[in-house]
Amino acid sequence: MERTKFTLDEEEIPRYWYNIQADLPEPLPPVLHPATGKPVTPDDLAPLFPMELIKQEVSTERWIEIPEEVRDIYQLWRPTTLFRAHRLEKALDTPAKIFYKYEGVSPPGSHKPNTAVAQAYYNKQEGVNRITTETGAGQWGSALSFGGACFGIEIKVYMVRISYDQKPYRRVMMETWGAKCVPSPSEDTKVGRDMLAKDPDCPGSLGLAISEAVEDCVSRDDTHYSLGSVLNHVLLHQTVNGLEAKKLMEKADAYPDIIVGCIGGGSNFAGLFLPFVKDKIDGTKPDLRIINVEPASCPTVTKGPYAYDFGDEAGLTPLIKMFTLGHGFIPPPIHAGGLRYHGMAPIICHLNRLGLVEARAEHQLDTFKAGVTFARTEGIISAPETNHCIKVAIDEALKCRESGESKTILIAHSGHGHVDMAAYDAYFSGKLQDYAYPDEKIEEALAELPKVG
């Protein structure tokens, strides 16, 4: 009987994060100050982040040590398990070998605490006792709330309004860990009040929620801001998962031909694939395919231009070179709230431009169908975000059935959907719908891209 799961011992939790910036064929484009157009300095970022995270953001050291205090908390759920999806393979009648690295066993139920715990730790080390942040579907907000509880830090979360309404139990999770969660746009900031005056029924966006969290942060001397995706240091912290996955694939006597993951801001999937993409960069595995999957209703990488843009709706953040739909773009209210972001992690965008990774966009109904297939074979009810990459993994496995090839597919399974059951209920009752790519809305938002010389 072939093995179904592959595990590591606690002492095998990685002691270092892997920094892809040490191995990029070309360096990342600089992050620019919106007022001067010049690269940002550590002093520019100091009001938002602790200095250690600022250093990690720009570091080109290949290995950055994980503090023991962070590893101690990681032991609550790490290392996570690599599964072979035998039952899914059988149901698809495919010769493909399908594996998935499952991050749903963390206390908040997703990959997010890999960086939330680290960010809370570095803020506590710098004497910061209050952090503001945003959240889409609530995975990041609940993870940072958990991280804040671990280190005694007050957390204020601005949650995208549509997800606040769709996923009330995420808010309850945050409150259980001691955080305060408000819907965005809110009455708590000028950015929020201005948007509500303009559109009282605004469903919100991650860009808008970021604006509120940043405004809250810079208006107080006792507060820092924390971001759950996009930035280099966030992707760095997530590589703890990819480093484990490499060890576990060795235990399974396998190496992926295809790695698939969902992207909203990019941290989940990048955390898994970055240790593998190094093998592609150095020529060890030149044929490795890495497929980033995003929603067709918010097709940042597949449809957006590669340009400098703000990370938030109000233009309070530095300018980042990335694929973007425009910082003013308000995505349709799909249930995969964690994927409703107008931009993308610069590292993923850079790797895409270099031809080292690829991207694909999928519609909501097809992804839920795939998620149900996965649940009825593998047993795990996946988050709506994760369903996107499950859909593409199934497609690739079916191609193997047609061709007769026995390819190895690795899925980055970012978390469970236990607090997303309203979305599944809507799917089963026929209330869920696909949203067309809103060309005119994106064109309006792209017209507002900042002018960079």
* Among the listed residues 322, 262, 271, the one whose alpha carbon sits nearest the alpha carbon of residue 291: 262
For residues 369, 374, 380 and 383, what is the CA-based torsion angle, rounded to 10 degrees? -40
Listed as ranges, residues in the chain with pLDDT below 70 are 1, 334-338
The model's pLDDT over 99-140, given as tens digits with 9 standing for 90+, comes to 999 999 999 999 999 999 999 999 999 999 999 999 988 899
pTM given for the model: 0.94
For residues 210, 161, 325 and 30, what is the CA-based torsion angle, rounded to 10 degrees? 10
DSSP 12-39: GS-SEEE-GGGT-SSPPPPPB-TTT-SB
Angle at 295 between CA 201 and CA 350, to 5 degrees: 115
User: What pLDDT, on a 0 to 100 scale, did the predictor assign at position 250?
Assistant: 97
User: What pLDDT, on a 0 to 100 scale, did the predictor assign at position 338?
Assistant: 65
**Architecture of 17-66+112-225 per CATH?**
3-Layer(aba) Sandwich (3.40)
Q: How far apart are CA 124 and CA 259, in angstroms?
A: 36
R_g of the chain computed on alpha carbons: 20
User: What pLDDT, on a 0 to 100 scale, did the predictor assign at position 373?
Assistant: 98
CB 357 within 8 A of CB 348: yes
Task: Report CA torsion sign: 116, 122, 127, 131.
Answer: negative
User: What pLDDT, on a 0 to 100 scale, did the predictor assign at position 257?
Assistant: 98
Domain ranges of the chain: 5-9+78-109+239-446, 17-66+112-225
The answer regarding whether domain 5-9+78-109+239-446 maps to CATH 2.60.40.60 reads no
The model's pLDDT over 197-217, given as tens digits with 9 standing for 90+, comes to 999 999 998 889 999 999 999
